[in-house]
Amino acid sequence: MDLENDSTYTSLGVPIVSIAFDPVAVQDAAAGQYGVESTPMLSDADHAVSESYDVLQWAVATGEPGHTFVLVDGGEIAWIRDYGAPENGGSMYVTPAEIAAQVAAALGR
């Protein structure tokens, strides 16, 4: 995964956690397919996490969260962005440099 291997992002010291509706077995297979090595991949089967962080406002046609990034700092949402949303450019891929810059700005660095 590009983000977990990007030195600009990793130098921020902000851990990555992937949360999706998919069952653990499906996520394990995807992790192998996409080269995810150290990022925890968690299942949000009951949608409670997605609902509590309000990421379903950008749900795709299947009702699942899109490509949403949430920065939690001190238990509060410090920054949230769904890059796949039309109002944010509709990108399916965002460079690690873009994510790192947004996270650093949200943390005041």
pLDDT in tens, 29-87: 999 898 888 899 999 999 999 999 999 999 988 888 888 999 999 889 999 999 888 88
CATH architecture of 3-106: 3-Layer(aba) Sandwich (3.40)
Segments making up each domain of the chain, as ranges: 3-106
pLDDT at residue number 91: 86
Q: What are phi and psi of 81, to 5 degrees?
A: -155, 135
- Pairing mode of beta strands 41-43, 18-20: parallel
pTM of the predicted protein model: 0.85
Q: Assign residue 80 a region (left: φ > 0; alpha: ψ between -120 and 50; beta: otherwise).
A: beta
- Residue 17's alpha-carbon distances to 62, 69, 81, 86, 90, in angstroms, are 22, 10, 15, 24, 22
pLDDT at residue number 90: 86
pLDDT at residue number 1: 67
Token code pair at residue 55: 């990421």
